[in-house]
């Protein structure tokens, strides 16, 4: 039997949209501090949705370093590719490739954004240029983030212990029909037996989508799943599935195994 969350309306704020957006961006901004520096490398603690501040200067390179083994899915995306020069390279760390993104502004006083989409996570970065002040290198600590993910996985599995060594996060999620919904999954993974779909916390108090699996013949099939906190737990693996919402299923999000 399908287990669905109840539909509960959220109280709406009367604040102006631009006020809400500006406040959210300000609260999400993470600035460099002296305790995060390791020699010339600023090491931020990674957290989903944070806006990491990176400062550059003309004629100076800033090296953004990803986690060894992490791979970019496409080119870096920036709001200003004319006045910011962006390059890529790779190095080797303990036998693993490490991706580097190099940034250089053409003049001071520039402000834009940069998004990096990888096979493990998405980075949201705000770039600012100054006459002399710049950051030589930026990287991230992932220990706290990884611990939170493991705890979330453990709490999501209620009937059997998750095999952490077998976790596979290679799923692609995109909108197939309609606008991007508020319940757009933030993470999909499996442990070799079960599939876990994590949603934004907002879905806990709003209408939830229904999950369907796409069979090998292309037909849509209902599938049994449970709701645990902000997770759907499916007692099987699948190559393709859809989340549908709306009276006529006019919002469809497709999940594909890579």
Pairwise pLDDT comparison (12 vs 167), residue with the higher score: 167
Instruction: Give the integer Cα–Cα distance in Å for 216 and 113.
Output: 41
Cβ(83)–Cβ(105) below 8 Å: yes
pTM: 0.55
> Residue ranges per domain, the chain?
31-141, 145-257
Q: What architecture is domain 145-257?
A: Sandwich (2.60)
- Percentage of the chain exceeding pLDDT 90: 50
Pairwise pLDDT comparison (131 vs 5), residue with the higher score: 131
Domains 31-141 and 145-257 share a fold: yes
Average pLDDT, rounded, for the chain: 85
Q: What is the pLDDT of residue 152?
A: 64
91 backbone dihedrals φ, ψ, rounded to 5°? -135, 175
Question: Can you read off the two tokens belonging to residue 132?
Answer: 């002399």
Domain 31-141 has CATH 2.40.30: no
Q: Give the Cβ contact number of residue 148 at 10 Å.
A: 12
Locate tokens 């049994």: which residue? 224
Q: Is the pLDDT of residue 107 over 90?
A: yes
Tens-place pLDDT, residues 23-70: 877 878 899 999 899 999 999 999 888 999 999 999 999 999 999 888
Quick one: which of 120, 149, 156 has its CA closest to 231?
A: 156
Instruction: List the alpha helices (DSSP H) in the chain.
Output: 17-28, 143-156
The total number of residues shown for the chain amounts to 258
Tens-place pLDDT, residues 113-163: 999 999 888 999 999 999 999 999 999 998 777 666 666 666 655 545 566
Strands (E), 16-73: 29-30, 37-38, 41-45, 51-56, 62-65
Q: What is the pLDDT of residue 4?
A: 45
Tens-place pLDDT, residues 155-205: 655 545 566 667 889 999 999 988 888 899 999 999 888 999 999 887 777
């Amino acid at each position: 039997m399908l287990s669905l969350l109840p539909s509960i309306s959220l109280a709406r704020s009367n604040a102006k949209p631009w006020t809400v957006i500006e406040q959210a961006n300000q609260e999400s901004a993470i600035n460099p501090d002296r305790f995060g520096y390791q020699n010339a490398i600023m090491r931020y603690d990674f957290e989903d949705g944070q806006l990491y501040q990176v400062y550059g200067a003309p004629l100076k390179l800033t090296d953004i370093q990803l986690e060894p083994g992490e791979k970019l899915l496409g080119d870096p995306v920036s709001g200003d590719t004319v006045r910011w020069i962006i390059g890529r390279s790779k190095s080797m760390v303990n036998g693993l490739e490490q991706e580097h993104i190099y940034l250089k502004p053409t003049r001071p006083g520039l402000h834009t954004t940069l998004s990096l989409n990888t096979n493990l996570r998405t980075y949201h970065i705000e770039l600012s240029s100054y006459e002399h002040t710049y950051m030589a290198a930026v990287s991230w600590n992932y220990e706290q983030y990884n611990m939170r993910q493991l705890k979330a996985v453990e709490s999501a599995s209620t009937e059997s212990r998750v095999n952490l060594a077998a976790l596979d996060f290679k799923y692609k999620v995109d909108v197939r029909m309609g606008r991007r919904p508020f319940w757009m999954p933030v993470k999909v993974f499996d442990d070799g037996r079960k599939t876990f779909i994590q949603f934004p916390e907002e879905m806990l108090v709003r209408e939830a989508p229904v999950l369907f699996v796409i069979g090998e013949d292309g037909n849509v099939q209902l599938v049994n799943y449970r709701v645990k906190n902000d997770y759907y737990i499916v007692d099987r693996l699948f190559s393709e599935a859809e989340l549908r919402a709306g009276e006529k299923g006019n919002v469809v999000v497709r999940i594909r195994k890579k």
